[in-house]
Amino acid sequence: MEKLAIFDIDYTITKKETLMELFKFVIKNDKRNICFLPRAIFCGIMYGIKVYDEQKVKEKFLKFIDGIEEKDLAILVKKFYDEKLTTIIYEDALKMIKKLKNEGYLIYLISASPEFYINEFYNIKEVDRVIGTKFWFKNGVFTRKINGRNCKGEEKVKRLKEVIKDEKIKVDFKESYMFSDSLSDKPLLDLVGKPYLINYSKKHEIEILKWQ
């Protein structure tokens, strides 16, 4: 049976929230995109007062790349990974990924962030699988519409089980790891025998690791 080492991405292996970093990166590369800032603030307010759920926030917020061709998006996210994402990865996260890979674990990254850019984490050679929120492309053009559901909470467990079923992998969950900064990942943390919270600010029965 295979053993998994599952990692959340935002604030678990990265020091910052990656979707907001993408927005800032797009503005930095073209100051005209500052026009999307009021929309971003509005989305944050609507989420805060529970008018929008996370799925709707993502679809509304991503207006700044609406209609981009898939080939141009691929160029953008590669640049984003090379110039920004690589600079905000916790060294301790990379050490853990390498350590567990050397011990025979399959390395899975599972995040609510959009797959179209977190797929760049395949650049970390130890990573076996990246699972995130999928978006539709129509005729090679990005549409802002989520394909399926936002990959968070129970949906992460569902997506993980779909992948291992499709790939005919038998997993020893009791010997598997899960690392997350948030209890929103409790369904995955409860699934494994070796759960860890990363830089969690409160006391908890789950062991807390401090990563830098």
Distance CA 88, CA 99 (A): 20
Residue 96: CB atoms within 10 Å: 21
Beta strands in 58-190 (DSSP E): 106-114, 127-133, 135-138, 141-146, 177-180
> 131 and 110 in contact (C-beta within 8 Å)?
yes
pLDDT in tens, the chain (212 residues): 999 999 999 999 999 999 999 999 999 988 888 988 888 888 888 888 888 888 898 999 999 999 999 999 999 999 999 999 999 999 999 999 999 999 999 999 999 999 999 999 999 999 999 999 999 999 999 999 999 999 999 999 999 999 999 999 999 999 999 999 999 999 999 999 999 999 998 889 999 999 99
Write the burial class of residue 67 (CB in 10 Å: 0-12 exposed, 13-18 middle, 19+ buried): exposed
Distance CA 53, CA 207 (A): 30
**CA Rg, the chain, in Å?**
17
* pLDDT for 43: 84
CATH of 4-209, one of 3.40.50.1000, 3.20.20.70, 3.40.50.620, 3.40.50.360: 3.40.50.1000
Write the burial class of residue 5 (CB in 10 Å: 0-12 exposed, 13-18 middle, 19+ buried): buried
Two tokens, residue 145: 């519409």
